[in-house]
Structure 1
């Protein structure tokens, strides 16, 4: 599909991602990570919550001064004090968005904010109007906990926000409770409420392991933008992982009719930098970025992949800055040994290969034979012993 629509990517690694336990960054680390994100080419990068602390204020203020490719976004609650603080932090920025929070469910109305639906709608629309009055042209209305919201209430809230001047509406599955078909239905309804002139963004959490599935369902239902984080970091179980979304769009672009021009080959390096900065534990099997996600030591799989990687490899490692690994381990066969030796120009003797295989399978430190130099040295040693015998 040559005319796939542009899917905007909003990165919230530095706000939602950083506010989760264990993910706090120093000022210098946040500056560095912003540069990494900006160089990837995200459409928007959320800098943080300027009115939360002096640190957050100074981060946004410094980032607003930097030359960059991405538009910066500041997060505010729907009150004028937060808005004024963010505008001061953003005063040196030539291009920015402000995302103001709106109450999206009766659960939050009753138990968090202790206010009526009418008061919440008034609060949100007043914040949007105030932003508009201050000359802000890119205003995002973030509807928190929308996936647990009543449709009638959500429609009144969202249409009021758009009439007041919101240019983006964010539908958030804040607690990660939605199923894909439910979230798609909500996004489709919201798309009808906002019309074509307002961007519809989605923000999904992974509490049920469905953040990516819900985000994709939202894209298929017409969402214009997805809010993501690198490595999927964020509150509780985290957010939609950008690297996973990018992988799906790489192979299912025609189905979704949408894509992003972000360079996939640089994503792994960006994720790795975040992992290093946060000392972030990452499962070795995690899709796209896991240590062994492009590796195999199973003999049957290795045999097929050595003939043609497509036999057991759908996602291609080079597209994401990774390399394929055919590893020697307890489950390996003889083919991987033969292939390594032949790759060094050695004409392999089957009897010596069998002896080498038996030795490796009995070795306590067999992983050392993944060093091809060690493997070749041992094979040649066996060959020398045979010649002397």
Structure 2
């Protein structure tokens, strides 16, 4: 079949010149209703069993949902049984209202009330399709016929509720395929239903306006919502709910703009599971509010548990780039991004307003670790490598060492063609900065002053003794090395600092040496050492650097100078 756009026509938006929603700002969370157990469940290849539904219901309660659509009990025995299980086992908390969907048919409505019997509070969700294409091609009824279905359904819902006075009933009506329904006709049907339920007299009533199929851009949907809110009867007594789908990839945007246009309530699913491209993703919308300093009224802090539970119940994997929830959404591979993140994090203090480049929220708020933010591959730079070393080893490398480590890590990633782990980066550092053959290991040292100089006496390797003299400790150690190994050493860079705090703190010395001999041709090498005191750290770093200049380092016989004797 040819790829031919001419078979489609553009959606015709309403002409609305007095729209108010573009100037609105969302300042509080809407009411949330999870439809994971109904709309989400019916979209699964393998629908959830009772055990999976129960596990997911418990998660929804834990997160903080106060309204949960638990099924379409008249459509299947498993849905009916699950409703009864929750009610009979008293698993529904007192502050949670369950919701059940039904078509506008008397036997289905009766079955729905049978399933909900004994619930403290429940929403009966009535729907019928109102769109032009559904009227003309599916039901082959005129507008009056479709409205009659809605009105009769509303009457049956009311009659059955009156037979169960011990339950606090809420009535909800959805003109299914609302986005494909003429707005004046949608309002005509809505008003006819509200005339039966009479919300102005105290009956809680919800009008749910579903983008059953997303047909236009989110701004058009917002215009539709605002128009309905302005033209329906009893608006102040009715909650307006939205149920957007993601056919155009704009389900969250449509819901957000719909709230700006006057909606009070949002239906959706965790992580967006649902028919076709999915339902509106409540995790994304709630976290969008959170990132703007608005309490979403849902606790999404244990995102790993949410993902585990949803994946186990739906058998659908979460995309690694899924907003807020995916494995890689707080991960930076780009070198410039890594450098910016590292610098911002170094300036951030607990209690500050969050302003970190490339991170819209603090990953810790979702129980993610900073170590997951920066990951290294061939696209990464010195900032990212330095950050990983800071996090895994507690070492803040000087800039010159960052540059050198970045080059070494990039060579490794280009060789493998893969991401490199923090453990392997640590190994690269230890191998290229700290590894040294046994004959260059410092065993003891003695530093003492004469009248006008400092004398350094060292014992290294298998008992070799070195002695040198200079104006300070470093100069004396360099003199000891040069006099015993025929080396001319120039220190190009030298940095020393503490790792950790208190009595358990260690010292690290990073330095870069130049071969200053006539035939050395300016050969450079870098070295580092970690020890419990600054003097032995500096001495060992000088010995390690000298060994490299002397060409004593080989692939065999390496020994680590830290307590973790693992060479990568």
TM-score using structure 1 length:
0.90
Match of 2:459 in 1: none
User: Which stretch of the first structure deviates more once superposed, 240-249 or 61-70?
Assistant: 61-70
The 5 Å alignment of 1:348-359 reads 348=397, 350=401, 353=405, 356-357=408-409, 359=411
Greater strand content: 2
Q: Indicate which of 321, 325, 342 corresponds to 2:367.
A: 321
Distance 2:383 2:179 in 1: 52
Match of 2:324 in 1: 288
When residues 370 and 121 of structure 1 are mapped into structure 2, their CA distance, relative to the original with a 3 A threshold, is same
- Is 1:145 aligned to 2:177, yes or no? yes
Distance 1:171 1:120 in 2: 16
Is the Cα contact below 8 Å between 2:303 and 2:367 reproduced in 1? yes
Cα distance per residue 1:262-287 (max 9 Å; x no partner): 12314553233112333313322121
Residue 130 of structure 1 and its aligned partner are, at CA, apart by: 1.9
Higher CA-based Rg: 2
Match of 2:298 in 1: 262
Distance 2:215 2:45 in 1: 24
- Is 1:251 aligned to 2:291, yes or no? yes
- Is 1:181 aligned to 2:207, yes or no? no
Greater helix content: 1
SS at match of 1:213: helix
When residues 253 and 332 of structure 1 are mapped into structure 2, their CA distance, relative to the original with a 3 A threshold, is closer
User: Which stretch of the first structure deviates more once superposed, 377-386 or 274-283?
Assistant: 377-386
When residues 352 and 189 of structure 1 are mapped into structure 2, their CA distance, relative to the original with a 3 A threshold, is closer
Larger relative contact order (C-alpha < 8 A, sep ≥ 6)? Answer: 1
Distance 2:194 2:103 in 1: 17
Match of 1:218 in 2: 258
When residues 10 and 358 of structure 1 are mapped into structure 2, their CA distance, relative to the original with a 3 A threshold, is closer
Q: Could you list the runs of 5+ residues in structure 1 that have no partner in the other structure?
A: none
Q: Indicate which of 86, 92, 97 corresponds to 2:123.
A: 97
The 5 Å alignment of 1:1-389 reads 4-5=27-28, 7-22=30-45, 24-65=47-88, 66-68=91-93, 69-135=95-161, 137-165=169-197, 167-192=205-230, 193-194=232-233, 195-252=235-292, 260-267=296-303, 269-309=305-345, 310-324=356-370, 325-343=373-391, 344-346=393-395, 348=397, 350=401, 353=405, 356-357=408-409, 359-364=411-416, 367=419, 369-372=420-423, 374-382=424-432, 383-385=434-436, 387=544, 388=547, 389=552
Distance 1:267 1:6 in 2: 19
Give aligned pairs, total: 382
Is the Cα contact below 8 Å between 1:124 and 1:161 reproduced in 2? yes
Distance 1:342 1:201 in 2: 48
When residues 106 and 337 of structure 1 are mapped into structure 2, their CA distance, relative to the original with a 3 A threshold, is closer
Is the Cα contact below 8 Å between 1:264 and 1:321 reproduced in 2? no
Measured on the aligned residues, the alpha-carbon RMSD in Å equals 2.4
Q: Could you list the runs of 5+ residues in structure 2 that have no partner in the other structure?
A: 1-25, 163-168, 200-204, 346-355, 437-526, 528-543, 553-568
Is the Cα contact below 8 Å between 2:374 and 2:387 reproduced in 1? no
Residue 231 of structure 1 and its aligned partner are, at CA, apart by: 0.9
Distance 1:61 1:285 in 2: 38
When residues 26 and 376 of structure 1 are mapped into structure 2, their CA distance, relative to the original with a 3 A threshold, is same
